[in-house]
Amino acid sequence: MTENKRPDFILITAGASGIGFAIAEAFLANGDQVHICDINETAIEQALAKHPELQATVADVCDPKAVDKMFADIEARWGGLTVLVNNAGIGGERASLDTLDDDAWGDCISVNLNGAFYCMKRAAKWMKRDNHGSIINISTASVRTGLPYRAPYVASKAGLEALTTNAARELGVYNIRCNAILPGSINNERGQELIRVHASTYGMTFAEAQADTLKYTSMRTMIEMSEIGDMAVFLASDRAKNVSGQKIGVCGNAEWEE
């Protein structure tokens, strides 16, 4: 944290594990006050055990009433919010467009797009009142590349990016910035599991499958979760005070996906 920096008040959805937790740790290291929500109570307990200074609510962002309760908790504690990070998301069903389950489509849209909207709607009210704020939406590089058999995921994240653009236009006059981060292939358990599945499917070693997975990434690299946290902290800071409406890839330049 820079000397004499006033702490920001941060809400991170799905912040108890994975990328969300990495983002939470980055903001904590920056000297900020951080509130996480997660649908997984056990994950929240583990996050609080590691960082007792965190605030937390068990909440499903798909449920507007649960989101209302979470924001009531935050209002009682802080009276407002400086930064919202919409990280909650699911991968959705892997299926061809013509065989995709209707409910699976709806579930992906509900979490990845509706959940972000519910939080943005409530955060924007406080940020407009304070004439200050930053909204950061976690999207995916797959929106740029396309990804066959993952229509719900890509469509929901494309919708999130459109919401980002529109919010940046609408809220900019209130000194509220809205940006999206587009992660590439993440070097976490889920990312490694995808490589193991690729290896099994095509009869490759893990190293061969990893190289094959990254062949359309210009820098041939997987992304550390901490890199997403660092970008979020930057976008929330005064160093990015005129950065809004942007979709910023932290992906090693993902060119294509198969």
Active site residues: 153
Hey, CA dihedral for 180, 17, 22, 212, is it positive or negative? negative
- The CA-atom distances, in angstroms, between 154 and each of 57, 85, 89, 148, 151 are 28, 19, 11, 9, 5
Q: How far apart are CA 201 and CA 184, in angstroms?
A: 21
Hey, CA dihedral for 218, 222, 224, 225, is it positive or negative? positive
Please, which residues bridge with residue 35 across strands? 11, 55
Q: How far apart are CA 206 and CA 202, in angstroms?
A: 11
Task: Say what the alpha-carbon torsion angle 131, 249, 184, 55 is, to the nearest 10 degrees.
Answer: -20
- The CA-atom distances, in angstroms, between 182 and each of 77, 157, 160, 245 are 31, 9, 11, 13
Q: How far apart are CA 154 and CA 172, in angstroms?
A: 26
Q: What is the DSSP letter of 112?
A: I
Q: Are 11 and 74 in contact (CB under 8 A)?
A: yes
